[in-house]
């Protein structure tokens, strides 16, 4: 059955994306708990077997292609099938793709945080603050 296959694909995608979110949460914890640059690097080293940091968005991309193809085919066959229904079906497929799409923003944010944390720990750079050696501007 196609619905069983679709449910299996959704389950696999959700499972892999949850593993990526666990990896992102682990990186946030590592960054918060590190007291030195070496400690941060040592915590990143023993990662384990599943170290993916990429969301699996194959199904949403496929659904967008299906939605556009439905719209094009409905436009070509609008004499036989009302275009309004084709437009609604295409919009529903696109909305479903939007709902299951995972953005790369959490991964980019944790990478930026770890980069700034490493600079803070290694070179004692405090972002958005003046160094202690500068006189008080007030």
Tens-digit pLDDT profile for residues 55-108:
999 999 999 999 999 999 999 998 888 999 999 999 999 999 999 999 999 999
pLDDT of residue 106: 95
pLDDT at site 49: 75
Confidence (pLDDT) at 4:
86
How far is Cα 126 from Cα 103, in angstroms, rounded to an integer? 29
Residue given tokens 């949403």 in the structure block: 60
Q: Taking 80 as the threshold, does the pLDDT of residue 132 lie above it?
A: no
Residue 6 has pLDDT above 90, yes or no: no
Are the C-beta atoms of 67 and 93 separated by less than 8 Å?
yes
Q: Which residues contact 31 (CB under 8 A, 6 or more apart)?
A: 40, 110, 113, 114, 117
pLDDT in tens, 7-51: 888 888 899 999 999 999 999 999 999 999 999 988 888 777 788
The pTM is what? 0.79
> Within 10 Å of residue 125's Cβ, how many Cβ atoms?
12
Nearest to 59 by CA among 14, 18, 23: 14
74-81 contacts, C-beta under 8 A, 24 or more apart? none
User: Comparing 128 with 91, which gets the higher pLDDT?
Assistant: 91
Q: SS3 letters for 31-83?
A: HHHCCCHHHHHHHHCCCCCCCCCCCCCHHHHHHHHHHHHHHHHHHHCCCCCCH
**pLDDT reading at 110 higher than 90:** yes
């Amino acid at each position: 059955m196609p619905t069983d296959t679709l449910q299996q694909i959704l389950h696999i995608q959700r499972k892999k994306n949850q593993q990526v979110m666990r990896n992102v949460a682990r990186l946030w914890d590592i960054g918060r708990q590190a007291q030195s640059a070496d400690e941060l690097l040592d915590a990143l080293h023993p990662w384990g077997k599943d170290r993916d940091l990429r969301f699996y968005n194959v199904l949403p991309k496929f659904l967008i292609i299906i939605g556009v193809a439905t719209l094009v085919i409905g436009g070509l066959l609008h004499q036989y099938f009302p275009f309004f229904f084709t437009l609604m079906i295409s919009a529903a497929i696109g909305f479903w793709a939007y709902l299951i799409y995972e953005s790369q923003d959490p991964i980019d944010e944790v990478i930026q945080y770890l980069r700034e944390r490493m600079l803070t720990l290694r070179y004692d750079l405090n972002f958005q603050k003046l160094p202690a050696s500068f006189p008080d501007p007030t």
